[in-house]
Structure 1
Amino acid sequence: MRKILVVGAGQSGLQLALGLQSNGYEVTLMSNRTADEIRSGRVMSTQCMFDTALQHERDLQLNFWESQAPRIEGLGVSVAAPGSHDPGPTQRAIDWVGRLNGYAQSVDQRVKMAGWMETFAQRGGQLVIHGAAVGDLDYFSRAYDLVLVAAGKGELVSMFARDPERSPYSEPQRALAVSYVHGLGPRPEHPDFDAVRCNVVPGVGELFVMPTLTTSGRADILFWEGIPGGPLDAFGGVKDPAEHLSLTLELMEKFTPWEYARATKVELTDAGGTLAGRYAPTVRTPVGRLPGGGLVLGVADVVVANDPITGQGSNSAAKCAAAYLGSILEREDKPFDEEWMRATFDRYWATAQHVTKWTNAMLAPPPEHVLNLLGAAGGLQPVADRFANGFDDPADFENFFYEPERTQAYLASVAGA
């Protein structure tokens, strides 16, 4: 029986640990917090998992909350009319919703990670509650056939060198502010199904609104992505959760009044229901070298960390865990050497590269042909639907998004159909 150590108990670490465990591997999972500490702590993320990522969970029978979480059947885009937010009410230049081929879902990671961690322990997995340092891994690496680092923050990430060719940004491109709330009303124009809402305020930032399942049941996430130094970059010194929500709503009233109109009665789900921060989108080399000469393999956002503007973090983590699981199972009893590690990462990068390219493009001001595409989606439902389903399969954006010629040819083909 091969022994594998997984460091980090997020989406990718837990999914991989549970997948390996179900295939007969002897798995040790290291987490810096207990399941109870995770469940009662602060929210860790926003997340909206699309159909492909959800299927990876179903394949491992880990979709414990599928019947409880809201079914997200659409993805809407609104773009504020230029200059309309200063002064006076904001108008929408663009407003549409695309229908997803398979529904998406969001489960608060406090619920999911705590539940999965308890499942891992109940199934006989070795769970070690300990914040790992590089020195710990140096010791552990000699006792395990493979060490996987899935802890996306802290000292361990420094073992993996930044890949400058794949990392165009060296600074954070957005300041992030999250609130989990109860009491949000429906969008009046589409009250009959749940959708994620992406509201773009050019030159200012984005507001995402998504239904979720949290520790206290159904809720919604209000998520500001502000251009650094701009009016949304205002949460840095805010420590009080009530003040954080108040500021979130104040900015909604100013920049996205159509979303604020349904948020006048919201309250935080709990005292841990807010989060603020920022990080630079970075791709790193996948193999870390320990002081004693051992090698470790980086997982998910340890090696590919994108800005959450395209909602890909948990999707990418699920896809990475699925790709790595496949590579480990195929390796059978052969050594997990550096060549295998690099090939395993390349298997994941085949999909991740499309996420990185698209996300980095969305962080920049949209070129004219992209604005034309978003505008056309308001009158051409197939365009809206295809854009929405690109969140599930970002590789499709290669066919109609990046190059003006392809965008024009696609729009002409739809308009002529």
Structure 2
Amino acid sequence: MRRILIVGAGQSGLQLALGLQAQGYEVTLMSNRTADEIRSGRVMSTQCMFHTALQHERDLGLNFWEDRAPRIEGLGVSVTGPDGGRAVDWLGRLDGYAQSVDQRLKMAGWMETFAQRGGQLVIHGAAVSDLDYFSRTYDLVLVAAGKGELVSMFGRDAARSPYAEPQRALAVAYVHGLGPRPEHPDTDAVRCNLVPGAGELFVMPTYTLSGRADILFWEGVPGGPLDVFKGVRDPSEHLALTLELMERFTPWEYARATKVELTDAHATLAGRYAPTVRNPVGRLPGGGLVLGVADVVVANDPITGQGANSAAKCAASYLDSITAHGDRPFDEAWMRATFDRYWETARHVTKWTNAMLAPPPEHVLNLIGAAGELPPVADRFANGFDDPADFENFFYDPDKAAGYLASAGTA
């Protein structure tokens, strides 16, 4: 039986550990926190997962909260106009629903499931020196912990990483008491509110420790009017700032948020990081090799909501690569080929995300505007969140965009 060590108990690490466990591998999972510590800790992300990523969970029987989490059936876009109102407002329909489950709930539940099924769970923060030892006792070591010392083993791929600095300041709040969008009161949707030159507000339904909730998520251009959360530690102050910005920049969203309250004492999160693609293979001091997983090696800004989706897709791709490899050694060539297979999916996410971080060119503004008049355009844009590869066909090139809009307008 092949022995595999996975360091990191997030979406990718746990999904991969449970998938390998189901295939009969001897899996050890290292986490720096217990399930109870995760469950009682601070929120970790917004994790809106679209159909393809959700299906990877279903395939492994890990969709424990699917019947309880809100079914997100649409994705809407609003653009703040010069007068402070909405210059653009539309809703695209998803072919398959999306869902968001608080990662505190999901990761704690999956970790307990892994242990209950006989997996070896080690609660210990791993250092490079630990991996140096483990690389000699396991057939394969995977690093799925996207922060801390271990990430430094994976060098930045400058050719695939156009941004050296963070492009957005991030601020998240989980709340109860948000009213429905009057435009579609019976349809749960992710709402993307674009504030030109300043940033974005995302509003999305979720399922958290206390049941149904909503997430208010500001992304501010660094140094701009939305970049005001640095140093804010008090959750109540964080929420007050969130609402103040909503009232000023997205009053249509503020109108349904006047009675919100935080879901719990740890329901806020703020920070920033530079989107980075890294070399997938880490070399240890003793000569051993480790393979990076998900956002260890491809960390995109959350502006396109792809983090948890990419983690699920990476875990599924790696699972296939590992099981198909049989008893052959997990050497450097295999590691690079395994990453390259995943990159065929991830590269579309990285290209799209980096494009969305930049000021939109005229043809993209035309697409966003046209979606308000042409429902098929809105639907296609929305479903691109599930399959970002489709943006190659109509989003980046002005001629392709114009041709698509011409055909959509006469369809």
- Please tell me the TM-score bracket, short chain as reference: over 0.9
Structure 1 residue 392 displacement after superposition: 0.1
Residue number among 105, 117, 120 corresponding to 1:111 in the alignment: 105
Aligned to 1:4: 4
Aligned to 1:408: 402
Residue number among 309, 327, 335 corresponding to 2:303 in the alignment: 309
Structure 1 residue 192 displacement after superposition: 1.0
Aligned to 1:51: 51
Distance 1:246 1:47 in 2: 23
Distance 1:230 1:154 in 2: 28
* 1:287-341 deviations in Å (ceiling 9; x for gaps): 0000000000000000000000000000000000000000000001000000000
Aligned to 1:141: 135
Distance 2:268 2:125 in 1: 23
Count of residue pairs the alignment pairs up: 411
Aligned to 1:333: 327
Aligned to 1:21: 21
Secondary structure in 2 matching 1:105: strand
Secondary structure in 1 matching 2:364: helix
TM-score by length of 1: 0.98
Amino acid at match of 1:302: V
* 1:230-252 deviations in Å (ceiling 9; x for gaps): 01110001100000000000000
Work out whether 1:240 is the aligned partner of 2:248: no
Distance 1:398 1:94 in 2: 23
| Identical residues among aligned pairs (%) | 85
Aligned to 2:366: 372
Amino acid at match of 1:314: A
Distance 1:219 1:78 in 2: 21
1:267-286 matches, within 5 Å, as: 267-286=261-280
Distance 2:3 2:168 in 1: 40
* 1:257-281 deviations in Å (ceiling 9; x for gaps): 0000000000000010000000000
Distance 2:332 2:403 in 1: 44
Amino acid at match of 1:315: N
Structure 1 residue 218 displacement after superposition: 0.4
Aligned to 2:30: 30
Distance 1:328 1:335 in 2: 10
Aligned to 1:97: 91
Aligned to 1:200: 194
Structure 1 residue 10 displacement after superposition: 0.2
Secondary structure in 1 matching 2:48: coil
Amino acid at match of 1:63: N
Structure 1 residue 190 displacement after superposition: 0.2
Residue number among 84, 98, 118 corresponding to 1:124 in the alignment: 118
Distance 1:193 1:46 in 2: 19
* 1:92-113 deviations in Å (ceiling 9; x for gaps): 1100000000000000000000
Runs of 5+ unmatched residues, structure 1 = 85-89
Aligned to 2:170: 176
Distance 1:341 1:63 in 2: 29
Aligned to 2:42: 42
Work out whether 1:257 is the aligned partner of 2:251: yes
Secondary structure in 2 matching 1:360: helix
Distance 2:180 2:327 in 1: 54
Aligned to 2:215: 221
Distance 1:73 1:353 in 2: 26
Runs of 4+ in 1 over 2 A off after TM superposition: none
Distance 1:278 1:68 in 2: 31
Amino acid at match of 1:75: L
Work out whether 1:399 is the aligned partner of 2:397: no
Distance 2:253 2:395 in 1: 27
Aligned to 2:80: 80
**Alignment RMSD:** 0.4
Distance 1:225 1:34 in 2: 30
Structure 1 residue 43 displacement after superposition: 0.2
Structure 1 residue 118 displacement after superposition: 0.1
Distance 2:324 2:145 in 1: 24
Structure 1 residue 173 displacement after superposition: 0.1
Structure 1 residue 47 displacement after superposition: 1.0
Residue number among 153, 159, 168 corresponding to 2:153 in the alignment: 159
Residue number among 292, 303, 311 corresponding to 1:298 in the alignment: 292
Runs of 5+ unmatched residues, structure 2 = none
